[in-house]
Structure 1
Amino acid sequence: MVVSNRYARLMFGHGALERQRVDGSYEVYGATTERDDDGPDHLDEREIALLVGVFQFHLATVTAGGHPYIQYRSGPRGFLHHLGDNTIGFADFHGNAQFVSVGNIDDNGRIAMFVADYPRKIRLKLFGRARVVDAADDPDLLERLMTVGDSRIAARAERSIIITIEAFDWNCSRSLVPQYDRDYVRDLNQAHAAETAELRSRIADLERQITES
């Protein structure tokens, strides 16, 4: 199976390729850039499952001066939607009205995302192009993005952010420190409580059988 080289062609500049040659890693990474662009990476079930299951991610945009601007985004699990093919989107919740990320997207649609599942030590880097859709231009789209399951997000939002993914890369789990949110710990405790209750019931049944024998 030939791995797509879109990520390598987007990320590996001259400096990175030269470093790889010196370090000896060029054949593993940079050599893929020698062939023609394979085109966008395709989001598959694994990537989609991670994206629609997170409650947080980091979004990087590009300022007019060329600097990266990183912003933390969060919401209820499912607030990041898969809209089909390589397109994802989320509602832009009301913030401090600086509009740095939104303005950067208006000026230069290039974005990067860092998405992690900390309990399982899984992380995914994605790169693509984004666009901003104001609520007045497509209210149905925003309403879709404000809906998670059978519930509607209570936060205020005036626009949608739609992203077309061009490339992604799964990172290894090394050095990623596991973190556990309240819901994860609650679900884990409930599972343990149910298992404990079942074991106690089985012990009680065995004790009765011994007493009656």
Structure 2
Amino acid sequence: MGHGFMDIALTPSVLAAQKEMHADHLWTQYKGHREFTRFTADEAAFIAERDSFYIATASESGWPYVQHRGGPAGFLKMIDDRTLAFIDYRGNRQYISTGNLIANDRACLILVDYPRRARLKIYGRVEKLGLESDPPLTDRATDKEYGAKPERIFRLRLEAFDWNCPQHITPRYTERQIADAFAPLRARVSDLERENALLRGQLERRGEA
């Protein structure tokens, strides 16, 4: 893989759109290194923390389909620096993404860290595997304590990735993140309530005396 994210994304029509908007020089003259074709420790840490991602596929009719995938944090597993895998659990049983990937194995994933306003884009080719076809891979990708019913496994071979700027990403927090952030405050309030009750009791006893 000697190409980068922009080599895939910058098609003739995209280049034409950039030229029309006078933005073509931003990329045709770009001198930075953007050949992100191997995951590093930064991507590994980011992926391991995510509990959801969006996956885009295309049907035989040419229509795109974007699906939200969710699960326990880290359910998208990084197998090596060019391979991701995730278990496909039973959902509404439409199988649109599954069918699209049979006809066209190209996919694009977007992973978002809302609190830190970070976004990772991934181009890859996705292979559908039976749960018994690669037991070590299936075992590694399975979250044993997750109660959903697994149906298959998807293995993604990385073509390229890139990071987005944080613009327009509104910080959002999960219930767990909010609970963790407020835990010290709740503990302090509990301490003050106990202290207040103790002082009230002392005052009442002095009044009786």
Count matched residues.
Answer: 190
Three-state SS of the structure 2 residue aligned to 1:60 is strand
**Conserved in 2, the CA contact under 8 Å of 1:92 and 1:160?**
yes
Structure 2: distance between partners of 1:99 and 1:78: 23
Q: Which runs of 5+ in 2 are unaligned?
A: 192-209
Correspondent of 2:147 among 129, 136, 154: 154
With 185-194 and 111-120 compared, the bigger mean Cα shift is at 185-194
Structure 2: distance between partners of 1:170 and 1:39: 12
With 102-111 and 137-146 compared, the bigger mean Cα shift is at 137-146
**Conserved in 2, the CA contact under 8 Å of 1:115 and 1:125?**
yes
Q: Which residue of 2 aligns with 1:210?
A: none
Give the TM-score, by structure 2 length.
Answer: 0.81
Q: Which residue of 1 aligns with 2:132?
A: 136
Structure 2: distance between partners of 1:137 and 1:5: 31
1:113 paired to 2:109: yes
- Deviation sequence 1:47-97 (CA, Å, 0-9, x none): 121111100111111111111111110001111111011111110001222
**Conserved in 1, the CA contact under 8 Å of 2:36 and 2:162?**
no
- Deviation sequence 1:12-32 (CA, Å, 0-9, x none): 111221232343322321346
Overall identity of the aligned pairs, in %: 30
Q: Which residue of 2 aligns with 1:168?
A: 161
Q: Which residue of 2 aligns with 1:145?
A: 141
Q: Which residue of 2 aligns with 1:100?
A: 96
Q: Which residue of 2 aligns with 1:88?
A: 84
**Conserved in 2, the CA contact under 8 Å of 1:130 and 1:163?**
yes
1:5 positional shift: 5.5
Three-state SS of the structure 1 residue aligned to 2:116 is coil
1:120 positional shift: 1.0
1:126 paired to 2:140: no
**Conserved in 2, the CA contact under 8 Å of 1:8 and 1:30?**
no
Q: Which residue of 1 aligns with 2:179?
A: 186
- Deviation sequence 1:146-170 (CA, Å, 0-9, x none): 13xxx53221102111111211121
Q: CA RMSD in A?
A: 2.5
Three-state SS of the structure 1 residue aligned to 2:44 is helix
Q: Which residue of 1 aligns with 2:18?
A: 20
Structure 2: distance between partners of 1:68 and 1:30: 27
Distance verdict in 2 for CA 1:136–1:196, change over 3 Å: same
Distance verdict in 2 for CA 1:131–1:26, change over 3 Å: same
